[in-house]
Structure 1
Amino acid sequence: MKSVRAVRLEVWRRGATVTVALRAIGSGRVVYRATRRSERATEAAVLGAERYCVTQGWVLVMPPANDGAGEAESVA
């Protein structure tokens, strides 16, 4: 039986350049990388990464957004 492979989606910006990558969980090896300079092209690169996961049969793990929207409010 084939073992399940999981990859983590990583997106980072350096100046005007945005890099989208898929990194294998466990080994840390980058299995997909796309570098783009526009927002629209970056969105296409993320969709391309998602499609690549489907074609390879990998499980895609996406980190939560770091925008504070998912933070629980404290109730007193």
Structure 2
Amino acid sequence: MATWAAKFPAEFKKLTDEQARALEGTLASHALEGLTPDKTFVANLVAVRTGTIDRAEYLRRAKAWSASKHRVVRAAG
């Protein structure tokens, strides 16, 4: 079984060992809940954890990410 760090090595390189272990757990929990973390999702988590963005910006990005994954397609007519 591949780790999340193996799937997203560039993002994990920005983290300390402790941060990387915590992120592995977070992503595993999200996956168990049915969410499929992608590069954008992981990059946003890394950015807030490393202080590159603040919590408000993280929440804005997370909301936009979620909206992009859950767009409702309506039939014409």
Q: TM-score, normalised by structure 2?
A: 0.32
Higher relative contact order (CA 8 A, sep 6+): 1
Going by fraction, where is helix more abundant, 1 or 2? 2
Whichever of the two has the greater Rg, that structure is: 1
Q: TM-score, normalised by structure 1?
A: 0.32
